[in-house]
Amino acid sequence: MYKIAIAGAGAMGGRIGTYLKRNGEDVVLIDRWQDHIDAINKNGMEIQTETETYTVQIPAMQPEEVKEKFDLIILLTKAMHADDMLKSLKDIGAITESTAILSMMNGLGHADYLSQYVPKSQIFLAVTMWTAGLRGPGQLLLEGQGGIDFQRSDGQPDERTEKIAQVLDDAGLNAKISDDVFFSIWSKAAVNSVLNPLCTILDKTIGEFGAYENAREMITPILKELIAVANARGTNVVFETLLAKIEATYPNEAQGLHHPSMHQDYTNRRLTEIDYLNGQIAKYGDELGIETPANDLITHLIHQLEMKYA
Amino acid sequence: MYKIAIAGAGAMGGRIGTYLKRNGEDVVLIDRWQDHIDAINKNGMEIQTETETYTVQIPAMQPEEVKEKFDLIILLTKAMHADDMLKSLKDIGAITESTAILSMMNGLGHADYLSQYVPKSQIFLAVTMWTAGLRGPGQLLLEGQGGIDFQRSDGQPDERTEKIAQVLDDAGLNAKISDDVFFSIWSKAAVNSVLNPLCTILDKTIGEFGAYENAREMITPILKELIAVANARGTNVVFETLLAKIEATYPNEAQGLHHPSMHQDYTNRRLTEIDYLNGQIAKYGDELGIETPANDLITHLIHQLEMKYA
């Protein structure tokens, strides 16, 4: 039996986990939120879509309660909680020398610290276009369609990659093996590194941010630093493409009326993922001797804001 | 008779103007705030100090009401209102070919646009250590002591400089002819370019800002850009000195409990002086081919915030 853990079973983890479970996979949800765990174990995961409401029975638990060893751990915690989650799973013996870890987290730099737990050949990195919302403990709101692009973190193909693709795709998750997942990761991180912190610092929606007449001039240096770092690390993202991706979010019909997730984290007094976005760009820049003053300043501004809630 | 105008008669203009008037000078206050003008003309300027309360009778008016030509215009508007003020005074004939303009405004770049009105040899630049508060229309709160360092904007000595120093000093304003006023201007602008916008963006007091463990690392690039620009323009400000000046403001016994003036402007929904601080550093950087990404970003962030009140 192929044993799968969803480590970090919030909205996205709930979507991925219940899709797999409905397709007959052996899946457990692992999370730190006890009310959520209790609700799932008592009532199942209650799912509302545009057209139907249904319930998926699926076991949920704290990492310390795990009794199994996993073939695949799909990592969907907030980035800053991944290390704690994996350490707990490692300590309890749930990560073996054949466990694959598939990170679907946002942001940059995950492969580096994940390699403390398994070799890079067992680390897989994904970018997902699925979205999901949580209405309350054990209650998901699932709209729209998505997909998952992923690749072994060292870029090599192998049978395990094929197996994971099959498992995800069979469950309706539209999985595709990428031949350059870092391109997708950096592209997504570019959008997030601009809109997430700036809309948080300014307390603006994406549309309000984009309405500033010098928005393009404002974001250009941030993007150029990111591109210099990505290029030096071997990923050929291009300025015009990333700029267009960002500017495409501004209209109300796109994401203009929304605040990015970091704004929601901040206003809910949670720590942000800044260290896995602009902070990671700055860190890579230091390692590579590339100056990143705009990303440095943004990282400091968000950390200054986080202090208010410390 | 030596005719003096205080152009911009808020708290500081009120202090300078009433000191001169009490010493027998021929002074008029020129401002845009009609309630303030009316109160001064009706009741005189009412002044409260640590030890006494007194009233100074002094004429106040809108620039369009001026009937005189001035020997000396002391400019104390907010930086972004200086041009409108001088244009109005020029149009009405109050600025002649022998008028001296003494700018006591904060920030950078004033000499450049002032030279539309009089030659650089008639422009004088001051840095003042006086402070002043306004309790209401026509009501000043004056505490502490101060001084004024000033110099002809082209650095040359002349008799007019001596005359202005005498007039100010006789009125108890502790005036000193500087031999490098740009050093003082850039030093003051360094403190203001860091603390004003960052405390505004973060909605923090100066002490809260300084309490961030990486505050020094955060402000270093901003200062280094300013220093590169100042040095290229011939003013030899030094990193360690400016850093020390800024860090000296953090304790509660210094300015730690206060918000900088830009924060007050912003929370009162007024435009800020950002274009004469970080914005001017960025502009000089462009002219000189010096990159100023941190100051660019700060300027854009403040302009983005100002949009909320537009």
Contact B297 A298 (CB under 8 A): yes
Find the helix packing angle between B293-307 and B278-288, rounded to 10°. Answer: 140
Best to test chain A binding among B304, B305, B306, B308 (most A CBs inside 10 Å): B304
Q: What share of chain B is helix, strand, coil (3-state, %, to 5)?
A: 50, 15, 35
How is residue A222 annotated by DSSP? H
pTM of the model: 0.93
- Residue B130 — very low, low, confident or very high, per pLDDT cuts 50/70/90? very high
Q: Which helix (H) or strand (E) holds B215?
A: helix B215-232
Best to test chain B binding among A297, A299, A305, A309 (most B CBs inside 10 Å): A297
Count of A–B CB contacts within 8 Å?
A: 68
The predicted complex's ipTM stands at 0.92
Does A212 lie at the interface with B, CB-CB under 8 angstroms? yes
Residues B249 and B240: their CA atoms lie apart, in Å, by 15
For the cut 90, the answer to whether the pLDDT of residue B1 exceeds it is no
What is the pLDDT at residue B309? 85
Whether residue A67 lies in the annotated active site: no
User: Which among B221, B294, B300 has CB closest to A218?
Assistant: B300
Q: Tens of pLDDT along B23-57?
A: 999 999 999 999 999 999 999 999 999 999 999 99
Does A218 lie at the interface with B, CB-CB under 8 angstroms? yes
User: Which among B221, B303, B305 has CB closest to A297?
Assistant: B221
Look up residue B181 and give its two tokens.
Answer: 């006023």
Q: Tens of pLDDT along A191-207?
A: 999 999 999 999 999 99
Residues B51 and B64: their CA atoms lie apart, in Å, by 37
Q: Tens of pLDDT along B86-104?
A: 999 999 999 999 999 999 9
Q: How far is A306 from chain B (nearest CA, A)?
A: 10
Task: Give the pairing type, strands A45-48 and A53-56.
Answer: antiparallel
Contact B297 A218 (CB under 8 A): yes
How is residue A309 annotated by DSSP? T
Residues with Cβ within 8 Å of residue B76, at least 6 apart in sequence: B6, B7, B8, B9, B10, B12, B13, B16, B104, B105
Q: What is the rounded average pLDDT of the residues A152-172?
A: 97
Look up residue A168 and give its two tokens.
Answer: 């995800």
Residues A128 and A104: their CA atoms lie apart, in Å, by 7
Please give the single-letter amino acid code of residue B152: R
Does B296 lie at the interface with A, CB-CB under 8 angstroms? yes
Could you identify the residue written with the tokens 């959520």?
A36
Look up residue A122 and give its two tokens.
Answer: 């067992």
Closest CA to A71 of A104, A98, A89: A98
Helices (H), B102-214: 110-114, 159-170, 181-202, 206-210
Please give the single-letter amino acid code of residue A307: M
Task: List the strands of the sheet with A45-48, edge to edge.
Answer: A53-56, A45-48, A139-141, A133-136
For the cut 80, the answer to whether the pLDDT of residue B310 exceeds it is no
Cβ atoms < 10 Å from Cβ of A189: 26
Q: How far is CA A96 from CA A6, A60, A89, A152, in A?
A: 16, 21, 10, 18
What is the pLDDT at residue B301? 98
- Residue A74 — very low, low, confident or very high, per pLDDT cuts 50/70/90? very high
Calculate the CA dihedral of residues B9, B12, B16, B19 and round it to 10 degrees. 100
For the cut 80, the answer to whether the pLDDT of residue B148 exceeds it is yes
In chain A, the domains with their CATH numbers are 3-179 (3.40.50.720), 182-309 (1.10.1040.10)
Nearest residue on chain B to A214, judged by CA atoms?
A: B300
User: Which among B202, B297, B305 has CB closest to A221?
Assistant: B297
Residues B143 and B171: their CA atoms lie apart, in Å, by 16
Does B228 lie at the interface with A, CB-CB under 8 angstroms? no
Does B294 lie at the interface with A, CB-CB under 8 angstroms? yes
User: Which among A212, A222, A303 has CB closest to B303?
Assistant: A212
Residues with Cβ within 8 Å of residue B132, at least 6 apart in sequence: B10, B11, B12, B14, B15, B140, B141, B142
- Residue A282 — very low, low, confident or very high, per pLDDT cuts 50/70/90? very high
Look up residue A20 and give its two tokens.
Answer: 């797999």
Residues B100 and B150: their CA atoms lie apart, in Å, by 13
Please give the single-letter amino acid code of residue B127: V
Cβ atoms < 10 Å from Cβ of B278: 32
Catalytic residues of B: 188
DSSP secondary structure letters along A170-215 = HTT--EEE-S-HHHHHHHHHHHHHHHHHHHHHHT--HHHHHTSTTH
Residues A6 and A2: their CA atoms lie apart, in Å, by 13
Q: Which residues in A lie closer than 8 A to residue B294 (C-beta atoms)?
A: 293-294, 296-297
Closest CA to B222 of B299, B288, B275, B276: B299
Q: How far is B309 from chain A (nearest CA, A)?
A: 12
Q: Tens of pLDDT along A108-151?
A: 999 999 999 999 999 999 999 999 999 999 999 999 999 999 99
Q: Are A83 and A105 in contact (CB under 8 A)?
A: no
Does A304 lie at the interface with B, CB-CB under 8 angstroms? yes
Closest CA to B160 of B235, B99, B233, B93: B99
For the cut 80, the answer to whether the pLDDT of residue A310 exceeds it is no
Q: Tens of pLDDT along B158-205?
A: 999 999 999 999 999 999 999 999 999 999 999 999 999 999 999 999
Q: Are B82 and B90 in contact (CB under 8 A)?
A: no
Q: What is the rounded average pLDDT of the residues B290-298?
A: 98
How is residue A159 annotated by DSSP? H
Best to test chain A binding among B292, B301, B303, B309 (most A CBs inside 10 Å): B301
User: Which among A208, A214, A305 has CB closest to B202?
Assistant: A305
For chain B, percent of residues with pLDDT exceeding 70: 100
What is the pLDDT at residue B263? 95
Does A290 lie at the interface with B, CB-CB under 8 angstroms? no
For chain A, percent of residues with pLDDT exceeding 70: 100
Contact B297 A300 (CB under 8 A): no
Look up residue A120 and give its two tokens.
Answer: 């890079």
Q: Which helix (H) or strand (E) holds B145?
A: none
Catalytic residue among A3, A21, A78, A188: A188
Q: Which residues in A lie closer than 8 A to residue B296 (C-beta atoms)?
A: 217-218, 221, 294
DSSP secondary structure letters along A249-285 = T-STTTTTTPPPHHHHHHHTTPPPSGGGTHHHHHHHH
Q: Which residues in A lie closer than 8 A to residue B214 (C-beta atoms)?
A: 300, 303
Contact B296 A211 (CB under 8 A): no
Q: Which residues in B lie closer than 8 A to residue A210 (C-beta atoms)?
A: none
Q: Tens of pLDDT along A176-191?
A: 999 999 999 999 999 9
Q: Tens of pLDDT along B13-28?
A: 999 999 999 999 999 9
